Amino acid sequence: FHKDGFLVLEQFFSTEECDSMRSQIQKIIAEMEVPPHCRTEFSTREEEQLQAQGSSDYFLTSGDKIRFFFEKGVLDGKGNFLIPKEKSVSKIGHALHAYDPVFKQITHSPKVQELGRKLGLERPVVVQSMYIFKQPGIGGEVTPHQDATFLHTEPLGRVLGFWIALEDATQENGCLWFIPGSHTNGITRRMVRAASGASTCVEFVGSEPAYDDKQFIPLPINKGGLILIHGEVVHKSELNSSDSSRHVFTFHVMEAKGTTWSKENWLQPTPELPFPSLYT
């Protein structure tokens, strides 16, 4: 993990645990009510990101709620679904770990806490969680990025992603790709809250360098596997052009000891939901 910036742990979660998360998310979608003006298409391309999430309070205030974000091209001009809604969701975030009993149990499971201790985390707190669908045929690409661009701390190196494959993640359905060792070079881009009165809620400072495609290696992983992701390692995923989905539950942890969470981050703890301790 320290050398490469990521670590693959196969069979970390059982089939039953994965299936419990999948069936729970189906219940959440079945009850999903999203007002048309809040139907935000999720994108990782900078221009589209600023246009969709950046102009949307729905995204900016989702840190302490369970909210829905959609794939590109699934909504008409009025915000009505062009395909069944359960096939249109890109991700659900960003507080499943706090408000849903199944995801809360997984996030704070004894084996996750034990892993945190093995990594030397003293006061880890959970900052966000997401369920990502990577829908068959339309699951969008995630462009090369570093998580610390969006979740900035002083000092850097205090954010860690836990990425759980709820189905086999293959090169065909959009597994993660990494540049090994790229977590040691700092960051060149940040997404920050824009000044009040700006046309978007967030803006990017700096720019993402052009990465050499040949440096990326794919990390296919079986259902139940866990990938640990250093906050500064460069990673991406390709479009899912296959006919199988690639469901994932992922959450981010920050070592709170001696760390300052940037006030400019889009995601902020709230009085209703301060960042909960990973250790229970």
Instruction: Enter the tokens of residue 49.
Output: 């990101």
Edge-to-edge strands, sheet with 176-178: 142-145, 235-237, 176-178, 217-219
pLDDT digits (tens, 9 = 90+) for 218-239: 999 999 999 999 999 999 999 9
For 22, half-sphere exposure in the C-beta direction (CA atoms, 13 angstrom radius) is 17
Distant-in-sequence, close-in-space partners of 216: CB < 8 Å, separation ≥ 6: 144, 177, 178, 179, 236
Considering only CA atoms, give the Rg of the chain.
Answer: 18
What are the structural domain ranges in the chain? Answer: 6-261
Question: C-alpha 183: how far from its chain's center?
Answer: 18
| Predicted structure pTM score | 0.92
Question: What was the pLDDT predicted at 38?
Answer: 62
| pLDDT string in tens for the chain (280-residue length) | 999 999 999 999 999 999 999 999 999 999 988 766 666 666 667 666 555 554 467 788 899 999 888 888 887 877 788 888 888 899 999 999 999 999 999 999 999 999 999 999 999 999 999 999 999 988 889 999 999 999 999 999 999 999 999 999 999 999 999 999 999 999 999 999 988 878 788 899 999 899 999 999 999 999 999 999 999 999 999 999 999 999 999 999 999 999 999 999 999 999 999 999 999 9
Q: What are the phi and psi torsion angles at 18 (to 5°)? A: -65, -45
Fold of 6-261: Jelly Rolls (2.60.120)
The pairing of beta strand 217-219 with beta strand 153-154: unpaired
Q: How far apart are CA 228 and CA 97, in angstroms?
A: 17
Distant-in-sequence, close-in-space partners of 265: CB < 8 Å, separation ≥ 6: 150, 151, 152, 191, 192, 193
196 φψ region: left (φ > 0), alpha (ψ -120 to 50), beta (else): beta
Question: What was the pLDDT predicted at 159?
Answer: 98
Question: What was the pLDDT predicted at 50?
Answer: 56
Q: In the chain, which ranges are E strands?
A: 6-9, 40-41, 66-70, 89-94, 124-132, 142-145, 153-154, 159-165, 176-178, 189-193, 202-206, 217-219, 226-230, 235-237, 248-255, 260-261
Say what the alpha-carbon torsion angle 145, 146, 148, 150 is, to the nearest 10 degrees: 20
Question: What was the pLDDT predicted at 54?
Answer: 45
Question: What was the pLDDT predicted at 6?
Answer: 98
The alpha carbon dihedral of 223, 131, 90, 128 has a sign of negative
Tell me the CA distances in angstroms from 244 to 3, 68, 91, 195, one per residue in order.
33, 21, 16, 42
| Cβ 161 vs Cβ 251: under 8 Å | yes
